[in-house]
Amino acid sequence: MDLRIPEQYKSGIEFIFNTDDDTIDAIISVLRDFPPTVENIVYKISEKIVQTQKLNRRTALNIVVTLVSLRQLYKEQNLSNEAIVALLSKSIEEDAEFAEFFKPEQIEPFKRKLSSLLKALESIAFPLDILDKASDLLIEHERIFSDSRIVTDIRPVFDSETERKVEAVILIHTLKIQYRDAEGTKEFYVVLDSDDLENLHEQIIIAIDNRQALGSVLKKAEIEYINPVIE
């Protein structure tokens, strides 16, 4: 079995390579001592790492997402901890991008650190297994939202006779939606006017209110609310 390293996990792997044992041990302590909850677990672990190690949030999240994704992979493939560490190490040695930064003698310490992190992750195996199932349900949809951006442009309206004098300007808002499907990452653009922006804003507020209301009902019923992370 060959293992290709996705781009989104390379920064987390690079961190494990370059980080000292004391920092790795501190992250292991966070994982082992983390309470068994499924509510926003990836983000909560990341925040705990930020608090204890003074790392920035993006770095901490990259580490946790990388570890959780590797765990999910070896569970799906019915592999052992040692097998996934060996496969990943082999891929790193064969990856031209990693070859520019890492020396062969760094591989064994990397294996040891990664293996210890993955073993510590098993301390919260139950909520992570639930998270895996929730993520599977989410990605069953045909299209998955990835990112968005709104760009506002000023367009001049010229005099109809001379086409030289600016009579007015119009604001045009362009919404870019990036999503993923079976073929990869795609995007499309939609033009919005000011009323469209207000409508979109209202719909988002309603959705957030609904989420909070349903969350309260589920909490009273003692049913965990899951917020899976799709990378």
The reported pLDDT for the residue numbered 83 is 85
- Sign of CA pseudo-dihedral 118, 123, 125, 131: negative
The reported pLDDT for the residue numbered 230 is 46
Domain ranges of the chain: 7-138, 144-220
- Strand ranges, E, within the chain: 144-158, 166-181, 184-192
Read off the pLDDT of residues 113-128 as tens digits, 9 standing for 90 and up: 989 998 888 877 666 6
Read off the pLDDT of residues 153-172 as tens digits, 9 standing for 90 and up: 998 888 877 767 888 888 89
CA nearest neighbour of 115 among 90, 83, 93, 140 = 83
The reported pLDDT for the residue numbered 99 is 66
The reported pLDDT for the residue numbered 134 is 55
CA nearest neighbour of 17 among 86, 105, 95 = 105
The reported pLDDT for the residue numbered 226 is 59
The reported pLDDT for the residue numbered 203 is 92
Cα R_g (the chain), whole angstroms: 23
The reported pLDDT for the residue numbered 133 is 58
* Low-confidence residues in the chain, pLDDT < 50: 137-139, 230-231
Distances (CA, A) of 76 to 36, 81, 137, 150, 215: 22, 12, 15, 38, 30
Residues constituting the chain? 231
| Contacts for 91 with CB less than 8 Å, ≥ 6 apart | 2, 3, 4, 5
